[in-house]
Every structure is written in C-alpha cells, then in structure tokens.
Amino acid sequence: MSKITINSQTVITYTGQKSLLECMEENGLPAEYNCRQGFCGVCRTKKFSGEVKYVVDPLAFYDEQEEILPCVCIPTSDIEIGTD
C-alpha cells in the first residue's frame, strides 16, 4: 500500500486499484479526465515526490519528472501530488 498526499493536506491510501485516477475517484476527490488511456493529457497532475509506474505508455506530452497522468499510472511508493 502507498500513501498519496494531495495538495499537501488530503491523504488517501492506494490499495491496488487499477489506476491512480480511479483511486482518487473512489475516495471522492475531484479529478479531471477525458480519455482514461493516456492520449489526451487532461488528467495531467503535478508530482512533487514519489514514484509511479505506467501500466500503458502515455501518448500525451508530459514532463516525466514533474507531471504524471493518473489515468494510466499506479504509485510504486508514497507520493505527493497537486491537483490545483
């Protein structure tokens, strides 16, 4: 299990859902998205710390070090992200 800190305040636990986006939704957190397949980049989220693994290679442009696409990734460690 990984701890996910969002906007430096909300903490949820990733327990093996299919994607980080689905975990956020299951915990009642607002998350923008469109395609859910890494094509559009609408779900692009700032990553402050931690590591993720992509289950599908995203096609949308993103900066791998600072941004992630929650629709196609899973956390592999505790992470801190920002949705603002």
31, 48, 84 from 34: Cα distances, Å: 10, 23, 17
- Show the domains of the chain with their CATH numbers: 2-82 (3.10.20.30)
Mapped onto helix, strand or coil, the DSSP state of residue 60 is: coil
| pLDDT (0 to 100) of residue 84 | 66
| pLDDT (0 to 100) of residue 46 | 92
| pLDDT (0 to 100) of residue 63 | 65
Q: Is residue 76 a contact partner of residue 16, using CB atoms and an 8 Å limit?
A: no
Chunked mean pLDDT (size 10), the chain, 84 residues: 88 89 89 90 92 89 78 95 81
